[in-house]
Amino acid sequence: MVDVILKADSEQGLINRNIYGHFSEHLGRCIYEGIWVGEDSPIPNTEGIRNDVLTALQKLHIPVLRWPGGCFADEYHWKDGIGPKSERARMINTHWGGVEENNHFGTHEFLRLCELLDTQPYISGNLGSGTVQEMQEWVEYITFDGESPMANWRKSNGREEPWKLKYFGVGNENWGCGGNMRPEYYADEYRRYATYVRNYSGNEIYKIACGPNDNNYHWMEVLMREAGRFMDGISLHYYTIPTGEWADKGQATGFGEAEWFTTLKKTLYMEELLFKHSEIMDKYDPEGRVGIIVDEWGTWYNVEPGTNPGFLYQQNTMRDAVLAGINLNIFNQHNKRVHMANLAQIVNVLQALVLTEGEKMLLTPTYHVFDMYQVHMDAQRLELNYESPGYTFGEETIPQLSLSASRSNDGVIHVTACNLSHTDELEVVCQIESTNASAVSGRILHHADYSAFNTFEQPNQVQPADWKGITLENNKLRFVLPPASVGVVAIIKA
């Protein structure tokens, strides 16, 4: 049993809804087949966007969607993706599988998707192989409400009114696939390019610099020192790889107890990364103006057998669900510095929410976690005090319990909880201070098999259920977390 104190009057700031953001790259079947099937497809669609995926994503109230990459962003030239589809330039996707990209899903199609999802677009610009002029003209094309060559071109392509574009990334992974740059060089390039990412027609852009890959603290130091005052956010990328080896990352399914434990241990490293990068940022930005944008995170395994290695298609089990819950709890706890996070990726790639196969679609365990956790979006984080029992496997020990709590605008308190142990249930006794609670309810995501996943033949093997046995007496909340589970409790005040 673990004792928890929830301080209902201890407000710790709003949890930015953008922490629950997502990422869509021109990679494998994320865009084509996953989101875009074209207007002439027999798969039911809205203006080429498949309806089943659209409906599923709408239910999550996705706050922000990143596009077009990823590594693809720094070889993407936006002018190839506008105008009549029959006239759009074709290219080779050199990063992801060497397949042909026909550019049928471009700026207009992406921004239409965002409109249908009621989500904020986050566009990553091409700094690696593009030009300052190209980036400047893209922003002008999208946002300028006036007379100019770019605005007139937009109008001739069917869009009279400009779009609103808040989030713009000035390059992606420029320490690697985006140009193999040194931080000193990229800092100067960022300053130059960002100068021309202008605010047109009342549209104010939140500029995001390319930040470090996992523990590259030197990159963060240089960027904050040399360019911090020119940015609003800085990205951070960290993928959870069970083996720690890129050449053989481990399997998405059919794993054993050791792989379960190691994967969760590695994902908890996100906490250390956020602490240490925040410490560096505090030196140059003590007011906390610049946000950490964790715009690539999630699990990365070996691809499913028989699929294109460049498509990064993997299954999604209860392990991924628990891992997602842990990371979202961590992001919530770092809400003062983390302004956005984007799970990689939204459909058919890496830790996807949705998988498709022809006309079939399924929701992954990770999808259900995002559905359960959306109660935290724009909610007031509340202080939780507890000491987690240890979860030991072999000679190593990690915390068994991960928690986060918030109060929504309607006054309902929500507690999200993950049990990391694959063998032991955990009783939680939570004393609620400074409010009178009158009722509780909950949802639990759990399966007797910790490696269970949904298939196109059995798409509902893993799905949330009503959480039975939660009690509330004298402001003391009790619940039992099954092994390898994710739960959410709603507490209604009197």
Q: What are the catalytic residues? A: 173, 296
* Closest listed residue to residue 323, CA positions, set 368, 404, 405, 264: 264
Distant-in-sequence, close-in-space partners of 310: CB < 8 Å, separation ≥ 6:
28, 95, 96, 97, 98, 99
The sign of the CA dihedral 262, 268, 270, 274 is negative
What lies within 8 Å, CB to CB, of 82 at 6+ separation is 88, 106, 107, 108, 141, 153, 157
- Say if residue 315 is exposed, middle or buried (CB neighbours under 10 Å; 0-12, 13-18, 19+): buried
Helical H segments across 304-451, by residue range = 318-333, 365-373
Place of tokens 């904050």: 224
Closest by alpha carbon to 151, among 213, 56, 82?
82
Q: What tokens were used for 293?
A: 């944008």
Per-residue tokens: 131: 């030009």
Report helix, strand and coil shares of the chain as percent, to nearest 5. Answer: 30, 30, 40
Do the Cβ atoms of 307 and 301 come closer than 8 Å?
no
List the one residue out of 334, 330, 342, 332 whose CA is nearest residue 293. Answer: 342
- As beta bridge partners, residue 472 has 477
Dist. CA 446–CA 322, nearest whole Å: 9
How many whole angstroms separate alpha carbon 440 and alpha carbon 156?
Answer: 55
Sequence letter at residue 196: Y
DSSP letter assigned to residue 168 = E
Instruction: Compute the Cα dihedral for 54, 57, 62, 68 and give only its sign.
Output: negative
Spatial separation of the C-alpha atoms in residues 8 and 40, rounded to whole Å: 53
The letter for the amino acid at 370 is F
Distances from the Cα of 484 to the Cαs of 130, 326, 441, 471, 477, in angstroms? 46, 12, 20, 21, 21
